[in-house]
Amino acid sequence: MEKLKKIYDTFVASGQFVSATPYGSGHINDTYLVKADEDVEYILQKINGNIFKDIPKLVQNKELVCGHIRNRLIRQKVSDITRKYITYFYSDKGKAYHKDYDGNYWTLSLFIKGSKSYDVIPDSQIAYQVGIGFGEFENRISDFDARLLTETIPLFHNVPRRQRELKEALAKASPERIEAGKELLEYLKRFDKEMLDLQQLKDDGLLPLRVTHNDTKANNLLFDHNDHPLCVIDLDTVMPGIVHYDFGDAIRSACNTAGEETRNLNEVSFNMAYFEAFTAGFMEKAKHLFTLKEKRTLARGCTLMTYLQAVRFLTDYLDGDHYYPVTYPEHNLQRAKVQVRLLQDMEKQFDKMNQFILEQ
Ligand code: ADP
Ligand code: GN1
Ligand code: MG
């Protein structure tokens, strides 16, 4: 607590430090809710230095994107704007981050009061609002100049890279873990070729390169107490990409009936009603941006992101759990099984998904 207070004190923000407590359910950064007097709250975050190699540039991305969104909101005369983008504070060295003696980087942002996020979506109405929130975000960053951004994780959703890393992890894994992951490996192998299709379209320049978020898990969208979307957070991975990544990852997370952390596989299914509600909201806000080719291939983004997530969890399991934090030994294996179960169910409804997108 003393250390967190010291870090907080290096930022120029109003209010004396009262307390700091771990907050949220993100996998990557260490997040704390800081309470200060004067009734202000902040989010203090240690950015993951194992994953992000150039954190000053990452923070610059966040500032640029938030600044862009802020300017658009001002231009559109939207009310109460400080709840609709993230405000970063500056350190006493004039940077939007603080580097501590151990070489760790920290950011301080305004806590969006009264906000909440969902790990599991409770009903179709919220699924629709998740679509509105992410669709609005795509719209707000659609005119942001991609050349200003640093690629914080190169090849983040690159399919050959993820397939190669799975193979490499398999080659080095313990016999027990190989045995435990065998069935999933076999299942995923069937998709190896077909999952390269979107990558190929992207590489051939047949899908427009856009500024995308790349981590549109449902809990990266904050809601107000009336369940209206406020703000998309976790901008660590805003980079050039294709809309399929954002649409697909949001569907992967929002339409899983049991949520990605469930220990009960039988509860996992693909919720078609949520898919329709999310898609309606997303398209309402963003469909004017998309080409016919994008719309015709969008459903494949959903299977792709679910497949990639299964590959990534399984890779981490075989590799000995270095990327995603685990709370029990089989945690990453279980997470991979959940994604595979979801993928199986999604496959069955694929034609319907495709049709629904084209009707929007
Ligand atoms: P990670 O990369 O680890 O997922 P996030 O930036 O998503 O980190 O933050 C983790 C959690 O903290 C989020 O899911 C959200 O609940 C909460 N959070 C982060 N920033 C804010 C903020 N400015 N206001 C309110 N809640 C926030
Ligand atoms: C991580 O940061 P968080 O928890 O929102 C990961 C995503 C995964 C997700 C799976 C930078 O997201 O790519 O889809 O976990 N982020 C990074 O839960 O790797
Ligand atoms: Mg997050």
| Structural contact between residues 138 and 285, judged by C-beta atoms closer than 8 angstroms | yes
pLDDT for 1: 84
The number of CA neighbours under 13 Å toward the Cβ of 355 is 5
- Please state, for a pLDDT cut of 70, what percent of the chain lies above it: 100
Residues of the chain with CATH 3.30.200.20: 2-110
**CATH 3.20.10.10 at 2-110, yes or no:** no
Ligand 1 center to 296 CA (angstroms) = 33
124-359 CATH fold? Aminoglycoside 3'-phosphotransferase; Chain: A, domain 2 (3.90.1200)
Beta strand extents in 148-289 (DSSP E only): 210-212, 221-223, 229-232, 239-241
pLDDT at 159 over 90: yes
> Mutation test of ligand 2: which of 25, 27, 315 has the most ligand atoms closer than 8 Å to its C-beta?
27
Ligand 2 contact via 217 beta carbon (within 6 Å): yes
In the predicted model, what is the mean pLDDT of the chain? 97
Among the atoms of ligand 1, which is closest to the Cα of residue 234?
6
Angstrom distance (rounded) from CA 111 to CA 114:
9
The 8-class DSSP code of residue 153 comes to: S
Angstrom distance (rounded) from CA 358 to CA 356:
5
Among 113-117, 276-280, 305-309, whose mean pLDDT is lowest? 113-117
The 8-class DSSP code of residue 118 comes to: -
Ligand 2 center to 34 CA (angstroms) = 23
Quick one: which ligand is closest to 162's CA?
Answer: 2
Angstrom distance (rounded) from CA 303 to CA 196:
12
pLDDT for 331: 98
Ligand 2 contact via 234 beta carbon (within 6 Å): yes
Angstrom distance (rounded) from CA 269 to CA 272:
9
Q: 13-63, pLDDT tens digit by residue?
A: 999 999 999 999 899 999 999 999 988 999 999 999 999 999 999 999 999
Nearest to 296 by CA among 160, 197, 203, 158: 197
Among the atoms of ligand 2, which is closest to the Cα of residue 27?
4
Ligand 3 center to 29 CA (angstroms) = 8
Quick one: which ligand is closest to 112's CA?
Answer: 1
pLDDT at 86 over 90: yes
Ligand 2 contact via 316 beta carbon (within 6 Å): no
Q: 217-243, pLDDT tens digit by residue?
A: 999 999 999 999 999 999 999 999 999
pLDDT for 38: 86
Angstrom distance (rounded) from CA 239 to CA 147:
10
Q: What is the mean pLDDT of residues 289-316?
A: 98
Residues of the chain with CATH 3.90.1200.10: 124-359
Among the atoms of ligand 2, which is closest to the Cα of residue 249?
14
| Encoded amino acid at 258, one letter | A
> Mutation test of ligand 1: which of 11, 23, 86, 137 has the most ligand atoms closer than 8 Å to its C-beta?
23
Ligand 2 contact via 332 beta carbon (within 6 Å): no
Ligand 3 center to 217 CA (angstroms) = 7
Ligand 2 contact via 138 beta carbon (within 6 Å): no
| Structural contact between residues 146 and 53, judged by C-beta atoms closer than 8 angstroms | no
Q: How many CB atoms lie within 10 A of CB 264?
A: 9
Among the atoms of ligand 2, which is closest to the Cα of residue 217?
5
